[in-house]
Chain A
Amino acid sequence: MTVPAASPHPDDPLDAVRDAALATVAEAVTLEILLRDRAGLLGDKSPLLLARRALGQLPAAERKEAGQRVNAALTEVSSAYEQKKDVLETERDARVLVEEAVDVTVLRQSLPHGARHPLTTVIERAADVFVAMGWEVAEGPELEHAWFNFDALNIPAHHPAREEQDTLWIEPEGSGLLLRTQTSPVQIRTLLERGAPCYVVAPGRVFRNDSLDATHSPVFAQLEGLCVDEGITMAHLRGTLQAFSSAMYGEGLATRLRPSYFPFTEPSAELDVQCFRCRGSVELQPCRVCSDEGWIEGGGCGMVNPAVLRACGVDPDRYSGFAFGMGLDRAVMVRHEVADIRDLYEGDVRFSSAFGSGV
């Protein structure tokens, strides 16, 4: 420390007081000690404050210089004190944070975590794709009358297609009440209610008298689509299904139509979508998604049979349309590699939980 060249009171040890104060500050090792020492350093009774109070008793000639020296000493001590306090406070804060540290991996998982069923979310996803194309979503009853499920769909009594569908019938026997075997009756209801033009998809559960095993369920979900307007062609059917397949399974996937037969469409086709995993490429096979077929079955479709339009009061000479139906269970199973369809209907929470709130 440099001793000032001149002292107003050579016998008054201001410098010594200041140095002692600075030393006290420097020696304070904890915040508590520093705060306890404050009174002695900068308090009213501290030597420096007492010295400043004593300035008034000095002769005017000396007062100015002495005042400057005392103030300088006070400033120096006070600044040293504040700096030290900052340092010690920071140290304390750091220590507290360390002391308060926890093991963030100790979790009791007490918040219940819910989840939605993949069939629900796939229905929403599929519906959203069509809504984005300007379509609307319709619904119909699950317990339906045979007229909507069969007659109006050009499947008269004793048509082999009726037998094939293994219908679950409702009492009283012969009442014509049944569990719908397809979502197609919603087509009929929609056309009867809205008439043409009509762009509607109808997701829902359908039922067959099939016993439950790894690949069959008596209850499953379908998505039905119906477009009726002037000038609708099979090219529009192809375009729509291509757009939908890309949205559901991935951009750039090819689709393929194979001739088929459904009583309510003419011409009729089966839709195949290129396998999203191997895309038919031998290098990526064996493929567990498509069993090396290169294609995934996408559902049935076709141009609405004029007989169906007539049964719904729509003039087939003015309007034409297409319809399609696809199995949503199959879509979920293919997308998520579900090996056993029973997983969809048994209600095991471990199954649904994997899907979170939507996939």
Chain B
Amino acid sequence: MRVPVSWLRSLLPGLTAPVQDLSAALIRAGFEVEGVHRVGEDVSGVVVGRVLDVEELTGFKKPIRFCHVDVGARVHEVVCGAQNFAVGDLVPFAVPGAVLPGDFRIAARQTYGHTSDGMICSAAELGLPGDPSGILVLADRDLGLDAGLELGRDVVAALGLRDIVLDVAVGYDRGYCLSMRGLAREVATAFGLTYDDPGLVTDQHALGGSASDGGCEGQPGQRGHRVRVEDGCDRFVLATVTGLDPSAPSPTWLQRRLVLAGMRPISLAVDVTNHVMLELGQPLHAYDAATVTGPIVVRRATTGERLTTLDGTDRALTVADLVIADDSGPIGLAGVMGGLATEITAGTRDVLVEAARFDPVLIARGARRHRLPSEASKRFERGVDPGLAPVAAHAAADLLVRLGGAVVGPVTDVDRRVEAPSITLSVGFSGRVAGRAYAPEVVIARLQDVGCDVNGTDPLQVRPPSWRPDLTGTSELAEEVIRLEGYETLPVVLPPAPAGRGLSAERRLRRTASRALAAAGLVEVTTPPFVGAQVLQAIGGGTTAPALVNPLSAEESLMRPSLLPGLLKALDRNVRRGLADVAVFETGHVFLGAGSTASSPGVVGAPTDAERAALDAALPDQPSYAGLVLCGAGASWDRAVETVLLLGRALGVMLEVRAGAAGAFHPGRCAQVLHHGTSVGLAGELHPRVVTALGLPARTCAAEVDLDALVAAAVAGGEVKAPRVSSYPPATVDVALVVDMPTPAALVEAALRNGAGELLEELHLFDVYTGPQVGEGRRSLAYALRLRAPDRTLTDVEVLGARDAAVAEAGARTGAVLRS
């Protein structure tokens, strides 16, 4: 919401505070001031000019125009890149010597083969809010010259441009502040000024109009336009204005206000409706009465009906659309955009001014379905004051009378409002929410500042004003009291500390996992979870992944069922940036299987267990995985596998490895990682086909494990039981076993462990040999065994006995024989 300070002051004559105080007061009241634009202070030498002719220059990369502009005293030649103006338009013209904001000095120059003797300015170039891409057209070519806009007159003076415009953000609950009227109330409260609200209904609004007949049809006294409301509207006011002078232009003050507020002046009738909307917050629509046939009806469209809206788009309507119709069918999308057929034109003399309050949800849906967010729909969505319609209709009619020589006819008012109930408020409630006390008179005064009717002492009976539909309960009322008294007056108190239990075991273990991977020399990354079907296919993932309805990019329209695509993309990016040796990891959620539909329970109370179970059942499985990828020096299949084993050890989970197979991995270099026989992940070298398909460095390695499973295993393992550390001397013995080539080392090792029995303290593989000494198709595996007893020094007999038992077991299980 762009707020010219001069406009605010016109509603609050007592407002003298400097702009920084005004801005601070708005922020304190909950309205973010996103910008303060000082307009017109740094502009000179810009005058009103009329475009005499336009020659489109061709042969350049972009459209370029060569024009003549009449500034009264002389005619300037000028080259211009904008396209939104036409012959006859009045435009701001910077003559040579002019200065624009940013100390931008204008001089004559040669360009595109012509002399450009000045510049036609856009709103942005003049430091005005508004469309920066096109020229600021001051008045339509069809309109006559306004006195203030005579050619050659200084634009800053003519438009009264010197002003300060605040850019104010307005929350969804404060639709009433999408108007000067609403913000003026907030400012008046902040500075303790008396406020004469221009949006309140007074006696004059009953003049010339007619009250509702209590049903759905308004029947004004004699000649009023008939209105029938069938749906989606609880207030509909239609004012008839006749005899408008179609050549009457918008006066400068009106144009200036619109321009400062960020809207473009179009014609008197349209400008007047926009002005009233900006000032009061009531969106209005003006119809050319001559084009309307029969009664105005507010109803749902029927399927098959069509409407060409003001933007020239022919739209198919459905029963979901709320329309304004006459005998010819729909003539407007209610609250969103009017129809082209009933548009105000240069010849319009009789006007129907509509001021209504439509159902916010219907308008929100309609604006979205037709992709037509407008100034009107924005206000209707947030709730328009239903008391405002007659006031706004009269304000618009009055302006048309004053500025366009029109006459006000009868006004139809269909009033189907339901009075909101009053709220019972304990006078101490606001203080209980805030954590500090407010005197009863303060509570009452603040509620009255907001516009509430307050009765009683304790509890109070509070009736919120018509423009605050958001005030539906005691919390909302408390917020008004606390907000207006100032959040800075709230005490700073810590809540009583609960007896915390610290981090859960799961969270501690997750941290351990992440630290262990970093300690193993991998760098953590966080990648977006979106993947493409092609990548998934390339890595051979047969998993169903949830698909996005509206993906950010069509190439990545699925949720990742694996961390590897994202990690490989990160690896690739690093390699492309010149880093040859990359080792990265990520922990995060993956998404397995597609979701299904579950209907939403209500929100009146907690959902039942069955309802909650249904909601959760609709979600795909989303476990946390840990993934890693490696390339370059230091990358090898065994580093990938051993990093996973190290992760298991860090968590206190014993993992085993056996040969595995999975699409993404080299069929001969893929390890399946198991915990108690259950697979928890894969590690190894990527399949050369994957490496090629994704353009990765040769021999890129990877691993991925189900971190949730590891953490669960660690938790299930319970507390660590401390080993008895024997201080007796160890006995070390090496054995070299010859086995057939396909026999996995893990089997040999397991057999040795089993066979050696309790005396075995530690065992590790220290050499693998293949060659003539062991024969074709066989290999030698050399293990070092460390034996120790808890209570004695081992004898040679015991040591050899354990060794022989180990070798015998290996022989029995794998056919291993001692290497001679």
Which positions in A face B, CB cutoff 8 Å? Answer: 111-117, 119-120, 124, 127, 131, 133-137, 141-148, 151-152, 154, 156-161, 163-164, 168-177, 179, 192, 197, 199, 205, 209, 211-212, 217-219, 227, 229, 232-236, 238-240, 242-243, 256-261, 263, 266-270, 303, 305-307, 310-313, 320, 344-350, 352-353, 357
Contact = CB atoms under 8 A, between A and B. Distances in A.
Contacts of A114: 517-524, 583
B788 to A, nearest CB: 31
Contacts of A320: 432-433
B502 to A, nearest CB: 6
Interface in B590-628: 591, 594-601, 603-607, 612, 615, 618-620, 622
17 contacts: A119-B526, A131-B502, A133-B500, A136-B504, A141-B619, A142-B589, A143-B620, A146-B600, A163-B368, A172-B595, A177-B618, A243-B494, A268-B479, A311-B603, A311-B605, A347-B567, A357-B515
Contacts of B436: 235
B416 interface: no
Contact of B529 (A142, A156, A234, A346): A142
A63 to B, nearest CB: 54
Contacts of B171: 260-261
A127 to B, nearest CB: 7
A59 B612 CA distance: 118
A164 B574 CA distance: 35
Nearest to A169: B549
Closest 8 CB pairs of A and B: A112-B521, A347-B570, A313-B606, A259-B30, A235-B435, A233-B435, A261-B171, A347-B525
A115 B559 contact: no
B102 interface: no
Contacts of A176: 597-600, 618
Given A234-B435, A260-B171, 16 more contacts: A114-B523, A137-B504, A154-B603, A158-B364, A160-B172, A205-B529, A209-B552, A233-B432, A235-B434, A235-B435, A261-B173, A267-B482, A307-B603, A347-B567, A347-B586, A357-B518
B577 A348 contact: yes
Contacts of A270: 32
A236 B595 contact: no
Nearest to B581: A112
Nearest to A210: B552
Nearest to A142: B589
A347 B584 contact: yes
Contacts of B586: 347
B488 interface: yes
The listed residue with most B CB atoms (<10 A of its CB), out of A161, A267, A344, is A267
Contacts of A175: 595-598, 618
Contacts of A136: 500-501, 504
Nearest to A173: B549
B503 interface: yes
B165 interface: no
Contacts of B600: 145-147, 151, 176
Interface string B502-518: 11100100010011011
B743 interface: no
Given A112-B634, A235-B492, A349-B574, A306 B473 contact: yes
B364 A160 contact: yes
A340 B27 CA distance: 28
B493 interface: yes
Given A136-B500, A159-B172, A235-B435, A141 B520 contact: no
B574 A256 contact: no
Nearest to B595: A177
B700 to A, nearest CB: 15
Q: Which of B473, B549, B622 has the most chain A CB atoms closer than 10 A to its own CB?
A: B549
B604 A310 contact: yes
Nearest to A352: B523
Nearest to A192: B606
Given A113-B521, A177-B618, A171 B547 contact: yes
B613 to A, nearest CB: 12
Nearest to B552: A218
Contacts of A263: 172
B702 to A, nearest CB: 14
Given A143-B620, A171-B548, A310-B604, A261 B172 contact: yes
Q: Count chain A CB atoms within 10 A of each CB in B504, B547, B619 and give the residue with the most.
A: B619
A113 B525 CA distance: 14
Interface in B439-456: none
B565 to A, nearest CB: 12
Contact of A135 (B498, B514, B528): B498
B527 interface: yes
Given A136-B500, A357-B518, A266 B475 contact: yes
Interface in B483-497: 483, 487-488, 490-497
Nearest to B549: A169
Contact of B487 (A177, A258, A313): A258
B223 interface: no
A310 B605 contact: yes
B603 A152 contact: yes
B579 interface: yes
A177 B171 CA distance: 27
A212 B262 CA distance: 29
Given A114-B518, A145-B618, A234-B435, A313 B605 contact: yes
B550 interface: yes
B528 A143 contact: no
A265 to B, nearest CB: 9
Contact of A112 (B482, B522, B620): B522
A160 B171 CA distance: 10
Given A239-B495, A345-B527, A148 B615 contact: yes
A13 to B, nearest CB: 58
A133 to B, nearest CB: 6
A157 B124 CA distance: 38
A236 B495 contact: yes
B493 A145 contact: no
Contacts of A134: 497-500
Nearest to A117: B524
Given A146-B600, A176-B599, A236-B494, A158 B487 contact: no
A59 to B, nearest CB: 60
B433 A234 contact: yes
Contacts of B483: 259, 267
Contacts of A233: 432-435, 493
B490 A115 contact: no
